[in-house]
Amino acid sequence: MNAPFAAPNDRKPYDYLVVGAGFAGSVIAERLASQHGARVLVIDRRNHIGGNAYDEPNEAGILYHKYGPHIFHTNSDAVVDYLSQFTEWRPYEHRVRASVRDKLVPIPINRTTLNELFGLDLKTDEEAAEYLASRAEPVDEIKNSEDVVINAVGRELYELFFQGYTRKQWGIDPSELDKSVTARIPTRTNTDDRYFTDKFQAMPSGGYTAMFKRILGHPLIEVRTGVDFSDFRDRWKQIADHLVFTGPIDEYFDHRFGKLPYRSLKFDHQTLEQERFQETGTVNYPSPDIPYTRISEYKHLTGQEHPRTTITYEYPSAEGDPYYPIPRPENQELFKRYEELADSTEDVTFVGRLATYRYYNMDQIVGQALATFRRMDEKRGTRGSS
Ligand code: FAD
Ligand code: UDP
């Protein structure tokens, strides 16, 4: 990047440069512009805004998610209130089936799963709890993602639902992964077959990209896509006073302590000549013999009516865009070294899933960005009064 950022006078053309137009970068940019009256330049190396939540209509006119299915759910009123300034909502509760032993059964495992899989007739929560207790293998100290599941449901269900899926998704065994990963999936004794139980579950009515356009629509925000920070990292101080970085933290510091591991995915999007493909928004395929982890069908999520339908297969991959930080102790140790560097880098703020190396959902990233803005705001207040 050269001439476009020449300042008309001594003042730099922008107060802030924000790298990344996903949730983290967009929310921070909006807060800085609307609350501080700051002039903000947002760049993204992709040719669009929205980060991994980006959606667009495909050639058939069906709204699909380019980077895999994104379902919004949260227990945070603050996050809902914030985003509701920029979108209306369409209520949607996600349901998932797992393809196991030639049956499609509810996941998270619930009473229906047990009855359908094992030909049982468990009628109450108590009966299901007793049954699970008879299969569970209590683990004294739950240390990893295998322990979590074995402790709750025993080895057979672990192998059927979790072992194969997790090995495919992460490229390592569940015993090598932090317990927080499979702990995302509860076990239920009732027949609630929703994937999430958060009090707010809905999709932005016009889609995510439309919501991002409004978040970034403030007149003090300028957005440039197809621009990679690494192309002018040595010169950014010529154009802005402060940098907000939402890309991978190890990349920012030139991988000086080594690369932080990320897991990637390949998406196979297909549009079919049929109105409906599957009974729920997502079907999971835990079997090690099937190379993909899940298939999602967007019309369930969006409510769109169309004679055709678009689905996405997810194939986990070691190569490609960094989608998932891999939660395990040695990676956290490495991240901490980068975090120390980040903490001592005064004029740069690190925020978002990749910059803080956290396996966070969208609502958690919005919450993190709002909290980060509050801290920036307090710092500014302190400086202002001194
Ligand atoms: P991102 O969305 O990754 O945005 C970072 C942006 O920075 C990217 O656009 C990138 O191009 C840009 N960037 C990075 N480096 C540079 C650079 N050097 N120069 C310029 N630009 C740069 N969450 C949910 O709540 N519900 C779900 O159902 C859900 N499903 C998911 C499914 C998949 C397959 C994946 C991968 C994630 C899912 N998530 C879901 C998580 C969700 O995607 C994230 O929480 C959220 O998108 C993180 O926002 P972010 O701004 O931190 O990062
Ligand atoms: N998981 C599994 N089987 C399933 C669903 C999930 O083993 O049918 C494990 C797997 O390790 C996965 C993790 O639980 O990565 C979290 O699942 P989630 O659906 O939250 O993953 P995400 O949507 O973030 O990819």
DSSP string, 21-52: -SHHHHHHHHHHHHHH---EEEEESSSSSSGG
In a domain, 102, yes or no: no
- Asked whether the predicted pLDDT for residue 227 surpasses 60, the reply is yes
Q: Is 17 helix (H, G, I), strand (E, B) or coil?
A: strand
Domain C-terminal end among 279, 296, 325: 325
According to the model, what pLDDT value does residue 5 have?
53
Local confidence band at 382 (pLDDT 50, 70, 90 cut-offs): confident
Q: Which residue has the higher pLDDT, 229 or 11?
A: 229
Q: Does residue 273 belong to any structural domain of this protein?
A: yes
Protein residue with least CA distance to atom 29, ligand 1: 70
Do residues 317 and 228 touch, judged by C-beta distance below 8 A?
no
In terms of domains, do 119 and 225 share one?
no
- 313 and 370 in a single domain? The answer is no
pLDDT digits (tens, 9 = 90+) for 122-167: 999 999 999 999 999 999 999 999 999 999 999 999 999 999 999 9
> How much is the pLDDT for 9?
61
User: In whole angstroms, what is the distance from residue 274 CA to residue 169 CA?
Assistant: 29
335 lies in some domain: yes
pLDDT band at 3 (very low <50, low <70, confident <90, very high): very low
Q: Is there a domain that residue 150 lies in?
A: yes
Same domain, 356 and 228: yes
> Where a domain ends, among 325, 347, 362?
325
Give domain status of residue 100, yes or no. Answer: no
HSE, side-chain direction, 13 A CA sphere, residue 276:
9
Between the alpha carbon of residue 308 and those of residues 79, 92, 268, 301, 384, the distances in Å are 34, 21, 17, 15, 58
Beta carbons within 8 Å of 145's beta carbon, 6+ residues apart:
162, 166, 174, 175, 177, 178, 179, 180, 181, 182, 183
178 and 116 in one domain?
Answer: yes
Q: Which domain holds residue 176?
A: 110-184
Q: Does this model's pTM top 0.90?
A: yes
Residues 380 and 249 in one domain: yes
Q: How many domains does the chain have?
A: 3
- Closest ligand to the CA of 76: 1
In angstroms, what is the span from residue 56 Cα to ligand 2's centroid? 25
Last residue of a domain, one of 325, 350, 375: 325
Nearest ligand 2 atom, CA 107: 8
Whether 243 and 128 map to the same domain: the answer is no
Please tell me whether the interface predicted TM-score (ipTM) of this complex is above 0.90. yes
Question: Hey, which residues does 103 pair with through a beta bridge?
Answer: 100
Atom of ligand 1 nearest to the CA of 46: 11
What average pLDDT does this structure show over 242-260? 98
Q: State the ligand closest to the CA atom of 314.
A: 1
Mutate to test the pocket of ligand 1, among 246, 266, 364 (most ligand atoms within 8 A of CB): 246
For the stretch 181-214, pLDDT in tens is 999 999 999 999 999 999 999 999 999 999 999 9
> Are residue 341 and residue 377 in the same domain, yes or no?
yes
338 lines ligand 2 (CB under 6 A): no
Q: With respect to residue 55, please indicate whether it lies within any of the assigned structural domains.
A: no
Our mutation pick for probing the ligand 2 site, out of 149, 166, 179, counting the most ligand atoms within 8 A of Cβ, is 166
Q: Closest Cα to atom 21, ligand 1: which residue?
A: 44
The answer to whether the CB of 39 falls within 8 A of the CB of 265 is no
